[in-house]
Homo-oligomer: A and B are copies of this chain.
């Protein structure tokens, strides 16, 4: 197999890597795409695609769990095959199977191909993703342990699934498997589910899950497993607790970046606990070495795609000034109810604004007409905005289609469209998006109804320093 010289070498064919490879190749660059395993990375194979397929199919009460899991694998395999074919057929992409190691700036060695292979390129993009963080539970047999890498390989839904970690993966899989008839015990060391969302969202999701019969154990950690009786031992705030009859334990407590064996140290690429350190353009500290996706600690497919596009722009058009704020990245969790948010977190807002300068608005979907017709009990739209001006700082949506609604709020934040302006928008009736309009109306009514007071509050608080120590990460 001949060695080769390319314009760029992309290490890892997940979402971030594919975005960069296809983007550069589409602009005429010759790209080597190195992947040791399947095309599409976690997203296609063990993340977004199989999980969303599972969530969708689990809504059909007539479907058998084993058939659902088989369909999930077929869908995923079909997409993986399509992506592989597209990469193989792309005239400017050379797909190379194997493990890549950066041997010096501009040089990569691929192990796996017979005899190895040496590649060179002016640009190297590291997109090696992440893997599930492991957890040792004394006494738990390996065959009972699942991560997102094994979950979709199950022949049938387990009878009783304990899930450690109530983040995005844990919540989504708890909801989907519960619908397939699996008994779920969901455990998190934090005192609320989805600690990256606002507490109101955590509460809504937790309430909905408990209503659905999911056993939620918060502030707890697993201390051991007793095979006789299949008992998972927990340490909870109320003391020790035993959960019996557990068939499988899904470990979903976070991700570890795949930084090992890449030769990063050798070329001087800096890494931290969340992965490779990059700036907002995907640049590492080493010229010609970039990183994108989970390996940088940014764990959502759309964030990887967005950074990938910025990398393509910098590599293909280096003479363009690197201007433009980095785009707003929304977050979305496809639990039931869905949760999505965008903009500043409450902690970041507290770090920037005095409390009196910000107003918190909330409209419960249950109080809207569409919420009434569609029996929505746990959904809401919450918006933090600057008093008087109505500039939106952050927003969260919980409920049906929350991940769709957040696009509207993201545009309003990005284009600095005030709530006063949104209150003039006409929303189709009856829709959940109308709740955004209603929050805007509430703001407009309160503001215009007390203009002198609001103006005085604004003047008093807007330019004050926030409380010291109010910033949270």
Instruction: Give the interface size bracket for A toward B.
Output: 35 or more
Question: Interface readout for A265-296 with B: 1 if CB under 8 Å, 0 if not?
Answer: 00000000000000000000000000000000
Which of B56, B328, B340, B370 lies in contact with A426, CB distance below 8 A?
B328
> Complex Cα distance A56/B49, Å?
27
Which of A135-143, A208-216, A382-390, A407-415 sits within the interface? A407-415
Interface flag for A300 (CB, 8 Å): yes
Question: Interface readout for A399-434 with B: 1 if CB under 8 Å, 0 if not?
Answer: 001011111101110110100011011111111111
> Complex Cα distance A79/B300, Å?
41
Inside 8 A of A306's CB, which chain B residues have their CB? 426
Inside 8 A of A324's CB, which chain B residues have their CB? 424
Q: Is the interface of A mostly helix, strand, loop or mixed?
A: helix
| Copies of this protein chain in the complex | 2
Which residue of chain B lies nearest to A423 when distances are taken between CB atoms in the complex? B309
Known contacts A49-B373, A369-B49, A372-B79, A426 near B410 by CB under 8 Å: yes
**Most-contacted residue by chain B among A61, A79, A332 (CB, 10 A):** A332
**Most-contacted residue by chain B among A55, A403, A432 (CB, 10 A):** A403
Interface flag for A48 (CB, 8 Å): yes
Which of B327, B370, B425 lies in contact with A424, CB distance below 8 A?
B327
Interface flag for A353 (CB, 8 Å): no
> Complex Cα distance A432/B338, Å?
14
Interface flag for A305 (CB, 8 Å): yes
Which of B340, B373, B428 lies in contact with A53, CB distance below 8 A?
B373
Q: Are B302 and A429 in contact (CB under 8 A)?
A: yes
The distance from the CB of A321 to the nearest CB of chain B, in whole angstroms, is 16
> Complex Cα distance A422/B303, Å?
16
Which A residues are closer than 8 A to B by beta carbons? 15, 43, 48-49, 52-53, 55-56, 61-62, 75, 79, 300-303, 305-306, 324, 327-332, 340, 369-370, 372-375, 401, 403-408, 410-412, 414-415, 417, 421-422, 424-434, 436
Given known contacts A332-B429, A405-B407, what 18 new A-B pairs fall within 8 Å (CB)? A15-B429, A52-B369, A52-B374, A53-B372, A61-B62, A300-B429, A301-B429, A301-B430, A302-B434, A305-B426, A327-B425, A407-B408, A407-B425, A407-B427, A407-B428, A411-B417, A415-B415, A415-B417
